[in-house]
Amino acid sequence: MPELRQEDAVPVYDLVGVGFGPSNLALAIAVHERNATAGSAPVSAVFLERQAAFGWHRGMLIEDATMQVSFLKDLVTMRNPTSSFSFLCYLHERGRLIDFVNHKSLFPLRIEFHDYLEWAAVRVDDLVRYGADVTAVRPVVTDDVVTAYDVEARDATGAPYTVRTRNVVLASGLRPALPPGIEASQRVWHSRDLLTNVDGLAGTDPSRFVVVGAGQSAAEVTAFLHERFPSAEVCGVLSRYGYSPADDSPFANRIFDPLAVDDYFDASAQVKSMLLGYHANTNYSVVDTDLIETLYRRVYREKVLGSQRLRLLNVSRLTAAEETGGRVAVTVESMLTGARTVLDADVLVCATGYAPADPFPLLGELAGRCHYDEQGRAVVDRDYRIRTDPAVHAGIYLQGGTEHTHGISSSLLSNTAIRSAEILESVCGRRHVEPALPALSGSGRASSYA
């Protein structure tokens, strides 16, 4: 690992963000606004994003899909209601503020909210390096103390470079989860790739789709395909008896409040588990009631007309998918009778959710200096900083992957603004006057990102 030298000293970043989805975008805005405040010591930051441009679940930006969270829980409002980065300021700049008010809805179209995120990302573009594939985070040591990290990355051309930082904020996002034994292919999709892949069916006449899953994405995909391909049969496969409605009632929604994070963090392991169980129906494997009713109306209408294209195979599970001759044979097993049905389909769509991306492979030897609980999960302090050995002075923060410590909202938009403020406050609160750290040997490219 690199040893610090006193010669060639230059400043390093206060923080480097790995990933640039909504969470680190909110953090970048918090940095931007703090640096614009008179009297505040500037925070130096850069965010490294693998994609060539900002993008968030582009494959599920279905035209009529709406957000499941209020527009007031945008990137900034819960932290700073007067921010020019708010969704209301976005609407005003786009000339739609009055129209949105007249719409009388708290929940904007998902495609509109994505446009808001892009609009905000452009305004902090100077803090972001797109096309940056981070490959490792390595410790920088002086006198046996880790005082900084070298974040190694490759640019869009594959050329390697390194930036040095006192803190790294990992926002690696989520990875699509597929059923056991199932692999994505031209005929087997994860729901996140719906719109990306569906255009490849142009000019064809699909006869059957199979959609696996019981949550919001599964219901949206089912409704979309049923409408988009009016001659195709759409089979929804769900382990439940039917789609379950999301609990978005006012009292239940308090589980997403900022104060609820404190309650959860301080609770015993038993109470944490209880709270997750009680309130899982606010977020997991649940569907908006309006969409459930829409799908039911379609099923009933087709029964009346005697031509059923929308079929729901409930209390069932996917057991196999085999591609042959440009089609996919989908085996579905009834959990009630054990009977198996093979559906000959054009496409199988797995709306089977996501799993948190594991950030620890990036940390290499640093992972061994992090603390873990009895279940092998990172011990994360209230400020979202991973607890490490005492000799590690530089910070590692997590945006996401902290549900076990911070509760159900740890990776959701509801607390994005507050969570980013708490991370930035922690980073700034730990700063102290110290000799500047040395530049990287060789090209000194770290300083070129200042």
Question: What single string gives the DSSP state of each residue in 167-232?
Answer: EEEE---EEE---TT----SSEEEGGGHHHHHGGGTT----EEEEE-SSHHHHHHHHHHHHH-TTS
Q: Using an 8 Å Cβ cutoff, are 34 and 423 in contact?
A: no
CA–CA gap between residue 397 and residue 137 (Å, rounded) = 13
- Nearest 5°: the CA angle 367, 371, 377 is 85
pLDDT tens, residue by residue, 73-93: 999 999 999 999 999 999 999
CA 125 to each of CA 48, 67, 296: distance values in angstroms, whole numbers, following the listed order: 11, 25, 45
Q: Using an 8 Å Cβ cutoff, are 75 and 157 in contact?
A: no
Average confidence (pLDDT) over 189-195: 97
- Nearest 5°: the CA angle 337, 341, 342 is 160
pLDDT score for 261? 96
Please enumerate, as own/partner, the contacts of 298-305 that have beta carbons within 8 Å and a separation of 24 or more. 298/223, 298/226
Phi-psi domain of 383 (left: phi exceeds 0; alpha: psi -120 through 50; beta: other): alpha
Per DSSP bridges, beta strands 316-324 and 327-334 are antiparallel
Average confidence (pLDDT) over 334-355: 96
More confident residue, 242 or 10: 242
CA–CA gap between residue 422 and residue 404 (Å, rounded) = 18
Report whether pLDDT(434) > 50.
Answer: no
pLDDT tens, residue by residue, 223-235: 999 999 999 999 9
- Residue 402 pLDDT class (50, 70, 90 cuts): very high
CA–CA gap between residue 223 and residue 425 (Å, rounded) = 44
CA–CA gap between residue 406 and residue 27 (Å, rounded) = 18
Report whether pLDDT(58) > 50.
Answer: yes
- Residue 392 pLDDT class (50, 70, 90 cuts): very high
In this structure, is the dihedral angle defined by the CA atoms of residues 151, 157, 158 and 159, taken in order, positive or negative?
Answer: negative
Q: Using an 8 Å Cβ cutoff, are 313 and 340 in contact?
A: no
- Residue 104 pLDDT class (50, 70, 90 cuts): very high
CA–CA gap between residue 211 and residue 207 (Å, rounded) = 14
pLDDT score for 332? 98
pLDDT score for 445? 35
List residues bridging with 57 in a β-sheet. none
Alpha helix stretches (DSSP H) within 95-193: 97-103, 110-123
pLDDT score for 412? 87
- Residue 8 pLDDT class (50, 70, 90 cuts): very low
CA–CA gap between residue 310 and residue 224 (Å, rounded) = 11
Report whether pLDDT(436) > 50.
Answer: no
Output phi, psi for 69, to 5 deg: -135, 145
Using DSSP's 3-state secondary structure scheme, residue 399 falls into: coil
CA 150 to each of CA 165, 168, 230, 391: distance values in angstroms, whole numbers, following the listed order: 7, 9, 54, 17
CA–CA gap between residue 8 and residue 128 (Å, rounded) = 26
- Residue 440 pLDDT class (50, 70, 90 cuts): low
